[in-house]
Structure formats: C-alpha cells, structure tokens
Chains A and B, each alone.
Chain A
Amino acid sequence: MRRPDWAPESIDIERPSVARMYDYYLGGSHNFAVDRAAAQALIAAIPEAPLMAQANRAFLRRTVRYLVGAGVRQFLDIGSGIPTVGNVHEIAQQAAPDARVAYVDVDPVAVAHSREILSGNDQAVVIQEDIRHPERILDHPDLRKLINFDQPVALMIVAVLHFIPDADQPAQIVKTLRGPLVPGSYLALSQASHEGRTDEEREQAIAIYERTDSPLAYRGRDEVAKFFHGFEMVEPGLVWVPEWHPDTPESVEGAERAVYIGGVGRLT
C-alpha cells in the first residue's frame, strides 16, 4: 500500500542539514557532528567557505537595514534556516520596532529552533514549508495573520535558490511569491554561483552537498538576474554580495571569492 501524499516525513538528524552547516560556518554551535563533518569537508575543499557564509550573512544584514531605511516594515524570509546571530527580526526590529517578520523553512529542526527563539515575539512567526510550494506559503494562515499584502513586503530569498534545481522551476517559484506583492515591495535575493571558482572547487562542493538534505544547483549571474524579472534593480544591481552597499571600502577586497551573488529589486 502506498503512503498517501499527506503522510509526514520523518525527522532524520543523521543527515547533514544545510541550515545547521550554515550555522557552523557562521561560528555557531547549533549543529550536530554530521553537520560539522560535512561542513569541515567543504572547508577542506574551499577554505574560505566560512567567510563566504559570513559575507552572505552580512549581505542579509545590510539589505534588511537598507529595506527598513526604505520604509519596509514587513519581511518574508524564506529559507531562514537557524535564525541565530544576525537574524532578520533582530536587525529589522532594532531599527524599526514595528517591523514584522515571517520566517519560512523546510527543515523541521530549524523551524522548531526558530519557534523557541521567537516565543514571546508576536511580530514574528515561523512556518514550516518548502519553497517548492510557494502557494502553500502564501496561503498559510499564520503568515496571513502577520503579513498584510496590501502593504509593501520585503521578500527575502537569501542563499536558498542554489538548493533548488532547475527542474523545480525556481523562476516560477519566485514569480508565484511575487504575485501578491504590491508596488513598493522588494525582493532581496542571493545565491551561490560557480563564477569565480575553479572547476575542481565547484565539483567538490557539489559532491559534499549531495550528501546533505539539499544538493547544490549553482547558477551564473545571467540566470540569477532572471529571478528579478518584474523588479527594478536597486543600485548597484546584481553583484558579488560583499559589493552590495559595503560598510567600508576594504570589505570589498576579494569580493569575487565570495561565491554568492545577490541584489535587491524593487517592485514598481
């Protein structure tokens, strides 16, 4: 007898989780031995891996601050992972206490952890859903309760789409998520790119992520640009993430080694 679609999946913490590996790169300890083993394997292949993650996390921080500055008060952060250090609600609510944040992640452990962190914060929720089902995300009652789609929303898809292969139609996913956004909303997006990497490094990274819950799908700048279809790019456009509104001129040094490319687009 075949299990029906609605049967839940079991929790497998024997498999490396990309959310917890990312936490490890950032210097966190919200991870298990399997996660550390996989992360260390990647660091062995690409020693700057933690720096890349940090650069991407810093991109997230700068975009949130930028967006709060631009007047956005609602954030929909998809693929939020383990929202520990430098999470969206802390950055946004620090700058604008009325900011509301909805986190979405597919990893049940990350979601359980987020829920613990967010307990007591009635301006933030977390829902467990796969970005591959964008309509389910948008229809989720918890999300609908917090996010008012009549007002601008910042859609954050940061360091997620490289886990979505072309077969899952990531552009269509972004398009669906863009659907209910009103003008004045934003898309902040970054993803791992193969540009600036040697073939060998790329192959090694792909091999390591094959063992995790989310295999890698690298994309070039042209492909990532397509995700912004319908958005007007904010200066400086789609760049290596350290180059996006850097804090200091020095922090742009060696930006191409950051692997992540990203940018922010505005819906007009």
Chain B
Amino acid sequence: MKSQHGGPLAGRVGYATFARAWAKAITGTSYMPVTQAELEAFLEGLTVRLVDALFAEPFSLRRGYQIGADLVAAHIASAEGLGRTIEVIDLRLLRDLGLSGDDMRDRMARVLGTVAIGYARALRDRTLDEQESIRRAALVAREQAEHALRESEARFRHQATHDPLTDLPNRTLFTERLDAVFGRQGTAGRRLGLCFVDLDGFKMVNDTLGHHVGDLLLVSVADRLRRALGTHLVARMGGDEFVILVEDTTCTDDVLKVADAALAAITEPSIVDGHELRVGASIGIVERPVEGTSPREVMRDADITLHWAKTAGKGRWALFDSARNQRELTRYALSAAMPAALDRGEFCLDYQPLVSLTNGALLGVEALVRWRHPQLGVLRPDHFIGLAEETGLIVRLGSWVLAEACRQARRWADVSPKAPFVSVNLAVRQVREPELVDEVTALLQEHSLPPDRLQLEITESAMMSTADESVGALRSLANLGVRVAIDDFGTGYSNLAYLSKLPVCELKVAGSFVEGLRAPAADPASLTDERILATLVSLAHTLDLTVTAEGVETANQADRLRAIGCDAAQGWHFGRPSHPSDVEALL
C-alpha cells in the first residue's frame, strides 16, 4: 500500500482477511460459478481497487461505479449481495487493512455511494437484458410452436382429406368441393359435370392376384387419372370407385370428353408387380345447370347412371337421362307398393271372351289382372307383371289370380250349365312352384269346379325354359282334366318336336299373325300371314290341338280365320276385357 493513501502500510494478510470476510458475507446471495478460493481472489483484487478509490485525488466517481459493475458481472448480483457488500466494507475495510485518515468517513461514504450506484445500474441493465432475452426466447419458441402447429395442421388436414393409398382427394374433400360449387355466388347460368367411375372386374384382380396387387393397381389407375385429368378434381370415394368433378361445363360434350379421357387412361395396360394388367371401367355421367339441383341429387343421379353403364355391358359411360330415371323411379315405386296393394285388395280381374268360330258360342274367358291403383288409376298387367316377376311377388299374385278366377268360374257355373271355362295365365315362376298341382287341386275341390272349366296358359318361351319336373307338373294337371294352353304361339322358337310331347290341348296364336289378316287378302304380306296361320292350324289339328287366335279386331279377320279352320278367337271384335257381371249377362 502506498503512503500517499495517508494510512499505515497494510500487508497482504489484511487484504486476504478482508476478502475472506467479504466472500463469506455474500455467499449464498446468488449463484456464483466459482470456488470459494476463486471468489476470494476476485474480491481481493476488488479490495485493492476499493482502497485506490478511497484515496484517489481527485475523487473519481468512475472507480466506484466500475467496482459495483464488476461485482454484478461476477454474478454477485442480488440486493442481498449489495447490502452485505456495503455492510462489510463499511464495518471492516479500514479496520482489516489498518487504514485511517482525517476525512475517512466522508471518503468512505462517497466510495460506497458510487459502488452502490455502479452496482444498481449494472444489476438493472443485467435484469433488463435477461428479461429481454427470455422474452425473445419465449417469442421464438412460440413462433416455432405455431409454425409446427400450422405444419401439423396442414398435414392433418391433408390426411383428413386425402386417401392414404393413392393420395387422391377423398370423399370428404370431394364433398367440400362439390358443396362449394353450389355455395358460390352467382350460380345462375353455371353448369357442372360429374363422372362416377367404377373399375370393371377389379374384384377379380383382388381375388386372383391378392389385395397387394389390387392396391398397386389402384395406385396406378389413380396416377393415370391424375395425369390425364390434371385440372379436374379426381377423388377416390373408396374401393374401386372414383369420381371426377368437372366444374363450369358449357355443355354435356365437355364432360363426355373427360369421361372418354378417363376411360382411355384407365384402360391403358399397366405393369403392376410383374403382371401386365388391363382393367376397364364404367362411368355414370351427370351434366346439368347448377341451379335447380343439389350436390346430393347430382351424386345420386351419377350413381344411378353408373349402374346403367354397368348393366349396359361395362367398359363404357352412360349419360343420365331424367325420363329414363323417372320411369325407373315409377317402376320402383310400383314394385315397392305392390305387396301391400295385394293385401289391400287393389287387384281385380277382368275377363275377355274366347268365342267359337264355328258357332259363335262363348267357350271361355281369359282372366286379365288389373291393379286399381289409388293414384294412378287402373293399371294393365304390362305395367306391373314384369315388376312382380322381378321381385318374386308374381307367385303370390298369380295364386291370388288363380283363386279368384276359380271362384268366379264357380259362380258362372252356378248361373248356367253353359258357363265358360276361365283361362288363367301362369308365370314361369308359378309353373316351377312345387305346390302348383296341389294348389290347383285344392281350388278345384274348394269350388267343386269341373277341371275342364279351368285353362292354364303358359307362354311358349316359358314352356321351353321349363325344367322336366315342371313339365311333369303340367302333365299332372292335364291328367286332372285341366286345360293347358300355349300362349303367344309363334313368337318363340316354336319347337314342334317338343310340342308333340307336351301335355297341351290348345295353341293360342300370337296376335301379330292375326294382325296381318286385317289387310286386304290380295296383299302379299297378308297372304303370307294367312298361309302361316293355316299351316299352324293344320299342324295343331294334326297334333289334336285346338287353335285360338288372339287379337281379332274385325269381322273380316274373323271370317278369314274361320275359313282356314281356326277353332276359336279372342279380341275386341268378340268382346273387350270386362267386368265379371258383363260375362254373366252373356250367359
């Protein structure tokens, strides 16, 4: 220590003693990343500077400030650190170093003041810096988290809206896009097109080559569709179904071009897992103005149309046709309503006379079923028999007709001994029913009806497609004495060989031949029909069958039929189908 400080020289020991006391005083006030020895050495250095500051002439503020700042820089950085520092300096510095002087109290106060100022400033700066840096870190972390969240949301959204196998948009995205077309402002005048695509024979690929190959094929088809139809939205709806949205079409042709391109892309052969595969597709197409329809309607109609394409033979597109759809809807509605209608008794029978051409006598009546539909009025069989055959209701409906006809035949028989037989049409399904013979037998018994008062009509084609057991059933019925007639003869294969073996007693010749007889006899075509009819009659008679001509509308036709030896006739000329009471009036 230099003598100009005004105090006695103090040895190193004094400094070390003071530094140790200082270190002890501040230990624990904040974390200092040094050993105790390092801390003491650091404080000893500061002690030297403190003494310099104490005795400096002129007094320097900066020295004290710097000591305070250096304390903070050494991480002695807390309120306690400052308080204890001032306390220990004030209490012990002069004593430990053996320092004294006249104005020592003043000097000490000024040094402590500047140390405190320097310390507080440094601590404040440090605090502000640290706050700033942690805020910045929080900001960065939040930005990163938000970025990651956005990325994951985008990924999540992609996953939610795309098919994982093909990476094509999925049903969700497609539905959104389709809805958007309808939600947009100014739909007036805008049109849209939609192709509903279904691969043909995809199941076969799956079943024979395995699902792995099937999946690869779907990926390949998806790639080709994507390439071929770039701008249009191609979505995979599931399985082997794809759908293409064609926005803002100007006419139907726009979407037909897309469909053609899609078919071409799909049918391109592709090598999948070593197999050269060629797959086709069917497409249902809808193209219409946006206004007046809805996403649901468009999808439904495209789906319906896809089935038309499938049933028309696959490998093609079909375009939605609202008239056809309307017909199918009506058919569907009728078909669905029929069972309940039968239960409610909405069906009834009209009867059309079968008249002898020899003497004009009423031989029989053909029972013709009618549906008194509550909304549509009276429906003729051609409106619903086909549907009943499709649904299988024909068996129940046919049974009802048979029973009703037998009941009616009994009533006529009660009225007159010359009552006509009733002729009832049987559908193929009915002929194949194993219970048919029992059913007829039971009806005949129930109504005490002579078997020859019942005639069963079976079409030629039905007869031909009938299995041997069914022929057996017909034979049994014939053996009972029930009349069996072949309906619409001449329209099928007219298998003559077969004809001789069947238990048939009558041929009903199709109206198309009789139609020809309306023309003047000199007409060559008319003459041909007459000759065919004559041959048929002659043939029938050879086989011991009677012949009834259907669709006779004029007296001239009747005359010519009579002339060629036809036995009986049926048609408007002889009476339209009518209510049973009208028949009763004839008796």
Residue positions of A touching B, CB distance < 8 A: 1, 3-4, 6-11, 13, 20, 25-32, 50-51, 53-54, 57-58, 61, 82, 84-86, 90-91, 108-113, 115-116, 247-248, 250-251
Pick from B33, B37, B138: contact of A13, CB under 8 Å: B138
A-B contact count (CB 8 A): 103
Task: Report the bound CA distance from A139 to B4 in whole Å.
Answer: 67
Chain A residues within 8 Å of B137, by CB? 30, 109-110, 112-113, 116
Task: Report the bound CA distance from A98 to B331 in whole Å.
Answer: 89
A165 to chain B, nearest CB (A): 25
Given contacts A51-B28, A109-B138, A113-B133, whether A7 and B33 have CB atoms under 8 Å apart is no
Given contacts A11-B145, A86-B31, whether A116 and B75 have CB atoms under 8 Å apart is no
Contact A247 B35 (CB under 8 A): yes
Given contacts A20-B134, A85-B75, A116-B136, whether A90 and B33 have CB atoms under 8 Å apart is yes
Task: Report the bound CA distance from A28 to B155 in whole Å.
Answer: 40
Smallest CB-CB separation from A31: which chain B residue?
Answer: B134
Task: Report the bound CA distance from A75 to B75 in whole Å.
Answer: 24
B40 to chain A, nearest CB (A): 10
Contact A32 B134 (CB under 8 A): yes
Chain B positions 394-441 with a Cβ under 8 Å from a chain A Cβ: none
Main secondary structure on B side of the interface with A:
helix
Task: Report the bound CA distance from A195 to B140 in whole Å.
Answer: 40
Q: What is the 8 Å Cβ interface bit string for chain B, positions 128-153, against chain A (1 contact, 0 not)? A: 00110110111011101110110011
Contact A26 B30 (CB under 8 A): yes
Smallest CB-CB separation from B142: which chain A residue?
Answer: A11
Task: Report the bound CA distance from A250 to B133 in whole Å.
Answer: 36
Contact A85 B149 (CB under 8 A): no
Task: Report the bound CA distance from A217 to B142 in whole Å.
Answer: 28
Contact A54 B31 (CB under 8 A): yes
Chain A residues within 8 Å of B133, by CB? 30, 113, 116
B29 to chain A, nearest CB (A): 7
Task: Report the bound CA distance from A30 to B28 in whole Å.
Answer: 19
Contact B149 A7 (CB under 8 A): yes
Contact B130 A11 (CB under 8 A): no
Please tell me if B121 contacts chain A, counting CB pairs below 8 Å: no
Q: What is the 8 Å Cβ interface bit string for chain B, positions 158-185, against chain A (1 contact, 0 not)? A: 0110000000000000000000000000
Q: Which of A31, A109, A116 has the most CB of B within 10 A?
A: A109
Please tell me if B100 contacts chain A, counting CB pairs below 8 Å: no
Pick from A53, A58, A112: contact of B138, CB under 8 Å: A112
Q: Which of B31, B131, B141 has the most CB of A within 10 A?
A: B31
Given contacts A85-B33, A112-B137, A251-B36, whether A29 and B75 have CB atoms under 8 Å apart is no
Smallest CB-CB separation from A251: which chain B residue?
Answer: B36
B367 to chain A, nearest CB (A): 63
Pick from B29, B131, B144: contact of A29, CB under 8 Å: B131
B426 to chain A, nearest CB (A): 59
Chain B residues within 8 Å of A29, by CB? 126-127, 130-131, 134
Contact B149 A248 (CB under 8 A): no
Contact A53 B36 (CB under 8 A): no
Chain B residues within 8 Å of A13, by CB? 138, 142
Pick from B78, B136, B153: contact of A27, CB under 8 Å: B78
Smallest CB-CB separation from A28: which chain B residue?
Answer: B130
A48 to chain B, nearest CB (A): 9
Chain B residues within 8 Å of A247, by CB? 35-37
Please tell me if B332 contacts chain A, counting CB pairs below 8 Å: no
Pick from A7, A51, A113, A115: contact of B156, CB under 8 Å: A7
Given contacts A13-B138, A116-B137, A248-B36, whether A8 and B145 have CB atoms under 8 Å apart is yes
Task: Report the bound CA distance from A82 to B135 in whole Å.
Answer: 13
Chain A residues within 8 Å of B141, by CB? 11, 108-109, 111-112
B70 to chain A, nearest CB (A): 15
Chain A residues within 8 Å of B140, by CB? 112, 115-116
Interchain residue pairs with CB less than 8 A apart (14):
A10-B146, A10-B149, A27-B29, A27-B77, A30-B130, A30-B137, A32-B138, A54-B30, A85-B32, A108-B144, A111-B141, A113-B133, A113-B137, A115-B140
Smallest CB-CB separation from A87: which chain B residue?
Answer: B33
Contact B36 A27 (CB under 8 A): no
Pick from A1, A9, A248: contact of B37, CB under 8 Å: A248
B21 to chain A, nearest CB (A): 13
Q: What is the 8 Å Cβ interface bit string for chain B, positions 67-88, against chain A (1 contact, 0 not)? A: 0000000010110000000000
Task: Report the bound CA distance from A15 to B111 in whole Å.
Answer: 43
Chain A residues within 8 Å of B153, by CB? 7
Chain B residues within 8 Å of A82, by CB? 134
Chain A residues within 8 Å of B136, by CB? 112, 116
Q: What is the 8 Å Cβ interface bit string for chain B, positions 446-467, against chain A (1 contact, 0 not)? A: 0000000000000000000000
Task: Report the bound CA distance from A219 to B152 in whole Å.
Answer: 38
Task: Report the bound CA distance from A184 to B31 in whole Å.
Answer: 31
Contact B160 A1 (CB under 8 A): yes
Contact B31 A109 (CB under 8 A): no
Task: Report the bound CA distance from A61 to B39 in whole Å.
Answer: 14
B89 to chain A, nearest CB (A): 20
Q: Which of A20, A82, A108 has the most CB of B within 10 A?
A: A108
Contact B149 A57 (CB under 8 A): no
In addition to A27-B75, A247-B35, 6 A-B residue pairs with Cβ atoms within 8 Å of each other are A1-B160, A7-B152, A27-B29, A29-B134, A54-B28, A247-B36
Task: Report the bound CA distance from A137 to B144 in whole Å.
Answer: 19
B30 to chain A, nearest CB (A): 3
Q: What is the 8 Å Cβ interface bit string for chain B, positions 6-45, against chain A (1 contact, 0 not)? A: 0000000000000000000000111111011100000000
